[in-house]
Amino acid sequence: MNAVGVLGHRRAGTVLSLLFVVLAVVGVTVPYVVGLGALSLLGVYIAVPLVAVAALYWSRVDASAVERLDTTRFRLLVGAYFLCLGVSILLLGVAPVRPFAYYGVVAVASTLVFAQIPSAESAERTVAVLLQTVLLTLSLVWGVAFKYNYYFARTDVFPHAWYTEVLLASGEVTTTFDDYRAFPLWHLLGASEDLLSGVGWAPRYYLFLTSGLVFGAVAVGVYLLAMRLFDSRRIALTAAWLTPLNTFVLQYATEAIPRSVTSFLGIGLFLAMLSRGRAFRALFGLFALGIVVYHPVTVPFLFVIVGVFYGAQRLVPGTADASLVRLSDVGILLAVQVVYWVGWAPYIVEHVVENVRSTGASGGTTGVTNSGILASPLGEVANYVQFSFLVLFVGYALVVCVSKRDVPPAGVVTVVAAALLSTLSFPGPLLFLQSVSENFNVFRFGQYTYPLISVAAGAGLVWLTRSRFRWPSSRHVMRGFVLLLVLSMSFTAVSNDFVASDNPVVERQFYTFYLSESEQDGLETLVDVTPGLVMADYISCRYLTYSPHTETCHILEVDPEAGRVFFGGESNLVVVRDGELRDRGAIQLFPTTEFVETPSYDAYLTYVDRESPVWEDLADRNKVYATDDVEAYAASGRAENRE
């Protein structure tokens, strides 16, 4: 007899909701007791929605009827959506950076789409909702990627744009591609679009264009996946609507890198996995092969996800016969990965082994990822609020599905798997282990788990809107509460510093994700005139490393305690992006007490703010270049040379 059978469905939900409260209390109090107050504060973004799930569940009475819109009101909502979309595009065009008003208009447009979902029962209305979701996705992706001079997201745009330029210039895959020598399909696609179009864009814009189209299709793919798992049009449309509001989706969609394509292929892989027949087995293998060819290290993440899904299917009472995932699926993923790595890219295996060895030897590194968490926990937690809504919806889906008898087995497995995978997807305890987050890229799980999380969160939000509660007992009050949740989630999803570092509502310790024309011109000019190296911040070096000036940049080394800047040689120039220092308050540099010839700046950097004494060390240096955004100093011309 299974656990649910012993406890009863209602009691199982009660026990689970109590467990959520315990986890919330422990997650906040334990870090505080051991002296990690910043982490305790950060845990609030998970603790609050967990407690809210319990409160909602205990107040829940039963399901209520769904109020549907007539044709006139449905069309009014669609018209209002397109009006908001037009206003958002206008704001993108007239404002130098995306204003807060843009985020607000997008949030209203998103809420208008959500309001249409309960009435989207016909094929025509379903298509209308999906079309609006796709257009919202394209607006969010292209609205930032095409707006700024050189949008680079989390700096991964630099190498992939450069590889595409090299491919166009040389006509072949060269050693410049590094680990991507055996995986150049994304760059070949961008180069082909450049050659066929004849528009004359910079190659990165073709990658942005393609990535937007891919993620527009991703929303439709999530809809199909949810229909397969729940057979509910309302849940499926809600899941599709939630997709572009996921921080990881927006982040990777705008980055336009090979991993972006694998997101779409991953949904195809899930759909093939959930279907029956030899043709779908073959299709599953083809999707797995396509993922490996596009990106070398995506399948290991999918391997874990499929494994968790399989484990949920075997362990959740009453779902063992659902046959959603078979061991053969796991075997196919493993076989395709190993064969391709060993046969076509053995250097990738060596690279992975080296990463594992470096982790074990060093015991982890203290990189830039966690610096803001301890320095400004309030700013961090404010930028995690959008995850709180997903935690709320997934958590509510979990307590409801264990207490309802009419949830399909596939739906139960999906919700349980999504809840388990959420611990790897949202910023949480595992991500505070720097050796894990840096060397094993646990943070990337969010890119691959979002389809399942969107489906589970969609189910939770639908069940929340259909539930009646002891308090508030008024359906109108509850409807207003849900719309407020949706509006708030939509606003925080597009305005947080992870996806809106051009103008976030609450700044955290991070960098602006684009180079202005003045910054780009300044770096290009200085690298051309200096006889030595350009000593600059992390972003500047990432840009120059993936350019014709590959060997010209050295990460600027400083001693923050002693207030010292290391020039590294008389012929070198120290370059400071003064505009970034002024706007964001800090830039990333390499901290050291003595000059290091080959610093491993990928492993350890620190943010040096504008109040740091290191800038006083440049006061009596010879300033040889200055614009509003960039300044450069020569080693010579100092009154007193301190060694």
| Three-state DSSP class for residue 291 | helix
Distance CA 591, CA 601 (A): 9
Please give the pLDDT value at position 112: 97
Please give the pLDDT value at position 641: 39
Distance CA 591, CA 66 (A): 59
256 — alpha (psi -120 to 50), left (phi > 0) or beta? left
Contact by Cβ (8 Å): 537, 556: yes
Torsion of CA 539, 542, 545, 549, to 10 degrees: -30
| Three-state DSSP class for residue 396 | helix
- Alpha carbons within 13 A on the beta-carbon side of 40: 12
Sequence-distant (≥ 6) Cβ neighbours of residue 299 within 8 angstroms: 288, 291, 292, 333, 336, 337
| Cβ count near 255 (within 10 Å) | 25
pLDDT tens-digit map of 454-480: 999 999 999 999 888 877 666 778 888
> Token digits for 323?
């046959």
Q: Provide the total of helices (H) and of strands (E) in the chain, helices listed first.
A: 27, 13
Distance CA 424, CA 437 (A): 11
> Token digits for 75?
């069309």
Backbone angles phi, psi at 433, to 5 degrees: -85, 100
- Mean pLDDT by 10-residue block, N- to C-terminus, for the chain (643 residues)? 48 87 90 78 90 90 66 92 97 96 98 95 95 97 96 94 95 88 90 92 96 96 96 96 95 90 90 88 90 83 89 77 77 82 66 49 38 68 92 95 84 94 78 43 78 96 88 76 95 95 90 95 94 95 94 94 93 95 93 90 82 91 93 73 38
**For the chain, how long is the longest CA-to-CA vector?**
84
**Average pLDDT along the chain:** 86
In angstroms, the Cα distances linking 518 to 33, 157, 338, 419, 627 are: 49, 19, 46, 46, 8
| Three-state DSSP class for residue 535 | strand
CA angle, residues 582, 434, 544, in degrees to nearest 5: 45
In the DSSP assignment, the letter for residue 443 is: G
Please give the pLDDT value at position 437: 41
Contact by Cβ (8 Å): 596, 552: no
Sequence-distant (≥ 6) Cβ neighbours of residue 298 within 8 angstroms: 259, 262, 266, 291, 292, 448
Please give the pLDDT value at position 53: 94
In angstroms, the Cα distances linking 416 to 308, 395, 519 are: 9, 10, 48
Distance CA 334, CA 179 (A): 20
| Cβ count near 449 (within 10 Å) | 27
In the DSSP assignment, the letter for residue 65 is: P
Please give the pLDDT value at position 473: 64
Distance CA 344, CA 351 (A): 14
Please give the pLDDT value at position 65: 55
Query: DSSP of 240-281, one letter per residue?
Result: HHHGGGSHHHHHHHHH-SHHHHHHHHHHHHHHHHTS-SHHHH
pLDDT tens-digit map of 42-53: 889 999 999 999
| Cβ count near 323 (within 10 Å) | 12
Distance CA 470, CA 97 (A): 46
Which alpha helices (DSSP H) does 60-154 contain, by range? 71-94, 100-116, 123-145
DSSP 3-state percent helix, strand, coil across the chain (nearest 5): 65, 5, 25
Please give the pLDDT value at position 462: 94
The pTM of the full predicted model, rounded to 2 decimals, is 0.90
